[in-house]
Structure 1
Amino acid sequence: MRLWQLVALTILAHTAFNGSRMLVSLYAIHLHASAFTVGALMSSYALLPMLFALSAGRLVDRSGARWPLFGASVAVALGVLLPFVWPRLQTLYVASTLIGTGFMVFHVAISQVVGAIGRAEDRAANFSWLALGFSVSGSIGPLVTGFAIDAIGHVRTFLLLFLFPLPPLLLLWLNRPALPQAKERKADAGESRVMDLLRSRALRRVFIASGLLNMAWDLYAFVIPIYGSRIGLSASTIGAVMGSFAVATFAVRLLLPLLIRRVRPWHVITAALSISAAAYCLFPLFTSVPLLVALSCALGIGLGCSQPMVMALLYNTSPPGRQGEALGVRTTVMNASHTVLPLMFGALGAALGMFPVFWAMAALLGAGAYFVSRRRADG
């Protein structure tokens, strides 16, 4: 299967995933859920991925990507269909768990396949194209979801999102075109060897930077629907604001393949953390839609340029034959923060309002930028 075909499958699956995050939040708010409940729902997207990402990575290393991708697409499709069939708040917990777990497996598997294409020096560019696909679906998901909610309501919008994972399901079932087969690995890869990955200084730096950047990405999807609802924005306007974030990530990733050989990955990651910290610091100071769009674009540029660099660094510094496992460790670290932070920030938002939520995230990102810049200086 060629790179553009992998990107196309990713766009379809991620549109359902990304649209569902906004839809679940807004539907829960429509059902009069508190900020803490919305945070719990967002944590449900990450709980099982936190527990099983490492196993998913090992499965992909051992058996190849086709059937993990197929099973993941089934889980995403069922997850977005459930609230249409049983439209109640309790169903959203099951749906968010299914969607989050399914897309975690999809992301680990598709990243492993993309990393295996071409030479080591091509990986940053390949991951840039994959990230560009995520930006396309990141734009489509909120825009389609927001306008669909205003036009046909929350429940029918779940049915609309159900259509997106169906083409990947069909293509993966038929295996047309064929995915690469799994590579041979040594038989002595035990549970304890996870510590080998964590002992690597280079990999630890990547895991920490990746965790912080993904926290910033994930929190955006959590706080903007709540903040937008509190300042009186419609669902379509919230979707447009969130869509501008994705458009910005698309624009910067469109340029990345041209710039990738001229910039150092760690310089880009430090700049991304700094820009994201500044954006989160400014968000709660404004209610004007144009200014929220501008801040979303700034955040999108910062986060959008960092992910391909992180993925290329992770793949290149991982031991041979264990790239899927390293991706699983990264996903575990990432989802551990995704599980805890929405609950913590949801409780904080319910008790003190949204200002402390934005500024706490800004402080974490600023500290991360300082840490990464110091480690970079130390070599």
Structure 2
Amino acid sequence: MVMGLWNRITGVIKDKKSVVLANFPGKSSYRSAVLETAIINATSHDEGRIDKRSAQIVFSWIRASPISIRPLLWALSTRMDKTRSWVVAIKGLMLMHGVFHCNVPAVQKMGRLPFDLSSFSDEYSGPSRTWGFNAFIREYYAFLDQRATIWSEKDYRKGDQGSLMSQQLTRLDKWQSLLDMLLQVRPRAQNMKLGLILEAMDCIIIEIYDVYSRICTEITNVLLSVYSAEKSEAASALKILQKATVQGEQLSSFLEFCKEFGVLNASEIPMISQIPEEEVEELKRIINGASHMITVCKGHEDPAVVEYKEVKERFKTVITEEWVVFDENTKINEENNDKISSAQESAALIDHVPAYNHREIPDFICF
């Protein structure tokens, strides 16, 4: 207990010292005293409090002027590179996550994160107490770093990048990989039932919903056009559908874990639609037989072609009824923001986050 009190006192002293240094004129043109002070306050050593106002200042600066991005990245990366406190590291990741959700083009094109927490280890408490926090930070960092990379590659749709199906499959592969990383971000120790961790997990839940919605929408588009695809593309589509089946099960399990742990947003997520195994098997049969039937029977209304058309229409109906349901849930949630506002308003880094509406720019990311 004495050690914990001492750590809090030294943390406050360090934050105050950093704020004082931030207000001294620096040689670098990248520096901004106001922005640096806001970043320091938003990533303070106080594990019981998040400075919401300072985080808002950071996001307001970024949205107001792209020129602010360079001093932001400089100040945040400098603080993250120096810190050995799990509290500061998590707050820094949350702040960076919020910057991404400002939807500023220059940030989206940034690529990798400007700092590295892949081997982070807290030095203020023993490993027996902090191993769970260390793992959480490394997993959270890995996700954000990959997310930054994917967003910076959004222009891959332009130019000669292969067929539309090929582009869709590429996007799906990236989204599914990102979802795998998201599902790894979780508290793994009992001493992690803290407000700061629960708020960070609230944000992870919202991000999972967003990524899974993208996956469902993209799979729907792929399956509806799989009949005109090349054999290799159809086979890739099948692998993606099989992976989506597994991820749907993993996601349901993840959400149950989060609910039991006390993550608020986990209780706000609608039921996850699973892909029936029989539909995966039917797609296998269609893919294996479609090329042969189209080649041999094209232009002939014989029984084989009739059967193919019937199966095709039936599968299209299944796709529409099963997959678009999830997308419609997104629209329903967008139209009923009041139902999810209680979870969002309780988050310590948020005033208003339309979590399921990609077009809106949130004031804060939900933590």
Same fold (TM > 0.5): no
Larger relative CO (CA 8 A, sep 6+): 1 or 2? 1
Larger helix percent: 1
TM class by shorter chain equals under 0.3
